[in-house]
Amino acid sequence: MSKDIISIIVPCHNEEEMVPIFHKEIAAVSDQLPDATIELIFVNDGSKDDTLAKMKQVAALDERVHYLSFSRNFGKEAALVAGLRHATGDYVAVMDADLQDPPEMLVEMFALIRTGEYDCIGTKRIDRKGEPPIRSFFARQFYQLINRISDTEIVDGARDYRLMTRQMVDAVLEMTEYNRFSKGIFSWVGFETKYLPYENQERVAGQTTWSFWSLFKYSLDGIVAFSEAPLAIAALTGVLSFAVAILGALIIVVRTLVFGNETSGGTSLIVIILGMGGLQLLCLGILGKYLGKTFMETKRRPLYILKETDGALPTGRKEEQNDD
């Protein structure tokens, strides 16, 4: 009886320290999966250190290891898509190289998904221990906000770390938009998903490349990608501002008729002008964000450009759709 193949996608950006450590951990886990064969695909997302060299060293020692290398940094979302397109496994897992995603959970995830009850076994953190308090606060606020304004449920604390069936992976690859938010995409395609909780893990080595600003921009991309609520808010703001202006004009007319003409204060006028100007700029900014995303979609640029691979991987699945 042939073994199932589990493809593990690992996006890497400046992870020279973690590549050999990660490979060692996965090799240990693979020994606990006698019914499966591991295919490990590292994706070098334009690293400036020796990440690619470390990938080549590991691939030379282990035929199960493959690598893809971009011409520059295209971002984690592009790296995920590249890995999914080139994965050949019956099941596909997505993991971070920093080992904050416990590799040993893969054993339980594989056992659950093989029952046929689930199409995806995801993971979620039960706490944010070790994170800066301000980052944890804004993360919780983001999940509360997006689940209120979007029809697509995004689980608080959910990680990209998950194991998916081939059917679900193909469905994800059918979504060919340029502006991607994987947490939303994994949820939007549907399929039966079970989440396994685990305690937050510290990075084993190296430094994270996700700054607070990067996470903030990523959260905005998620809101724009999966909700039209900001556009509705902009329209409502305009309606309310107009209503307040009409009400204010009526009050001025009535006061003038009853009490006579009064000299208006210059300070209050400046405040009103600044307030209305700020609202207009806010609404224009919201519209501009959506327009900018639409502009990027219409260009039909590729999500990434491959510079180098180990040559052992087949042509990427669904890749031709990106050129339509």
Does residue 259 share a domain with residue 158?
no
- Whether 218 is covered by a domain: the verdict is no
- Whether 224 is covered by a domain: the verdict is no
The span from the CA of 49 to the CA of 167, in Å, is 36
Helix (H) or strand (E) holding 76: helix 76-86
Does residue 307 share a domain with residue 270?
no
CB–CB of 318/174 below 8 Å?
Answer: yes
| Confidence band of 268 (pLDDT split at 50, 70, 90) | low
Does residue 273 share a domain with residue 171?
no
| Confidence band of 143 (pLDDT split at 50, 70, 90) | low
Q: Which of 50, 54, 49 is nearest to 40 (CA)?
A: 54
| Confidence band of 219 (pLDDT split at 50, 70, 90) | low
Does residue 317 share a domain with residue 280?
no
Does residue 100 share a domain with residue 21?
yes
- Whether 144 is covered by a domain: the verdict is no
Does residue 128 share a domain with residue 29?
yes
Does residue 318 share a domain with residue 240?
no
Strands 193-198 and 120-125: parallel
Q: Return the higher-pLDDT residue of 135 and 263.
A: 135
Edge-first strand listing for the sheet containing 65-70: 193-198, 120-125, 158-165, 91-94, 4-12, 36-44, 65-70, 306-309
| Confidence band of 314 (pLDDT split at 50, 70, 90) | low
- Whether 128 is covered by a domain: the verdict is yes
* Count of domains observed in the chain: 2
At 45-79, the pLDDT tens digits run 888 888 898 999 888 888 889 999 998 888 888 88
Show the tokens assigned to 236.
């409502």
Q: Return the higher-pLDDT residue of 199 and 195.
A: 195
Instruction: Check residue 42 and give its pLDDT.
Output: 92
- Whether 146 is covered by a domain: the verdict is no
Instruction: Check residue 9 and give its pLDDT.
Output: 92
Residue 66 belongs to a domain with what CATH number? 3.90.550.10
Residue percentage of the chain with pLDDT more than 70:
63
At 82-128, the pLDDT tens digits run 889 888 888 999 988 888 888 888 888 898 988 888 888 888 877 66
- Whether 216 is covered by a domain: the verdict is no
Indicate the pTM of the whole model: 0.69
Does residue 166 share a domain with residue 271?
no
CB–CB of 237/230 below 8 Å?
Answer: no
Instruction: Check residue 323 and give its pLDDT.
Output: 45
3-state secondary structure 22-64: HHHHHHHHHCCCCCEEEEEEEEECCCCCCHHHHHHHHHHHCCC
Does residue 309 share a domain with residue 288?
no
Does residue 170 share a domain with residue 277?
no
- The domain in which residue 82 lies consists of 4-134+154-211+302-323
Question: Residue 41 phi/psi, 5° resolution?
Answer: -120, 105
- Whether 147 is covered by a domain: the verdict is no
Does residue 116 share a domain with residue 97?
yes
Does residue 166 share a domain with residue 110?
yes
- Whether 205 is covered by a domain: the verdict is yes
Residue percentage of the chain with pLDDT more than 90:
5
The yes-or-no verdict on residue 33 having pLDDT over 70 is yes
The yes-or-no verdict on residue 320 having pLDDT over 60 is no
Instruction: Check residue 217 and give its pLDDT.
Output: 63
The yes-or-no verdict on residue 317 having pLDDT over 60 is no
Dihedral over alpha carbons 210, 214, 216, 222 (to 10 degrees):
-100
